[in-house]
A and B are shown apart, each in its own frame.
Chain A
Amino acid sequence: MISLKKLNLCFYSKDKGGSEIEIVQIIGVALVATFLALILKEQKPNFAFLLIVFTGCAIFLFLVDQIYLVINMIERLATNAKINLVYVETILKIIGIAYIAEFAAQITKDAGQGSIASKIELGGKILILATAIPILTVMIETIIQLIPG
């Protein structure tokens, strides 16, 4: 306990409100959920599956505030650097799509449906490509302008 307190003092400034405890909380919840899922899987596999889905969602919801801080910082940097905010928005949308697709694909794979998981990943890739069309267009136009002739 004392060493933990020392770690807190070493690694973390006080103004953030104790994020280093949050990882301990997440690990605890994840381990408890894993054991419960193992117990439940022998009796009712579908209940165990729902438990795993719930745990995944809960952990992400727990992390949303921190992600929001990071995104806020990226936006502020982009504003200060006078980048067009549409690009940053597109990139954030891509990150969101990638996260959801990964989440769903992992859960589906856990449930033993590898083919549906790969379809979800395909859908994620295509939607990301479609979202990135404005950026790609601007980039290609820039490159064409650079070419002399």
Chain B
Amino acid sequence: MGLDVDIIFKIAGVGIVVAFLHTILDQMGKKEYAQWVTLFGFIYILFMVASIVDDLFEKIKSVFLFQG
């Protein structure tokens, strides 16, 4: 459970930092950069979440469906 809590905090931290950067870049008048920052943050988090969803499906397959 240690690793998972770590990643939960990581996701929340990336989200808050990205929101902060978005606001600041927006106020500086660089809307495009703000969009890119949001997009990259989202992709980074999506990568982490997708890897654990894959893990979950593999586990369910091996436990319930006897294919592991």
Contact = CB atoms under 8 A, between A and B. Distances in A.
A26 B8 CA distance: 13
A39 B12 contact: yes
Interface of B: 1, 4-5, 7-9, 11-12, 14-16, 18-19, 38, 41-42, 45-46, 48-49, 52-53, 55-57, 59-61, 63-66
Nearest to B18: A44
Helix, strand, loop or mixed for chain B's interface?
Answer: helix
A44 B38 contact: yes
Helix, strand, loop or mixed for chain A's interface?
Answer: helix
30 contacts: A22-B1, A29-B1, A29-B4, A36-B8, A36-B12, A39-B16, A40-B12, A40-B15, A43-B15, A43-B16, A44-B19, A47-B15, A47-B18, A47-B42, A50-B42, A51-B8, A51-B11, A51-B15, A51-B45, A53-B53, A54-B11, A54-B49, A55-B8, A57-B52, A60-B59, A61-B4, A68-B63, A93-B64, A95-B64, A99-B64
Interface in A5-27: 22, 25-26
A76 to B, nearest CB: 15
A141 B16 CA distance: 61
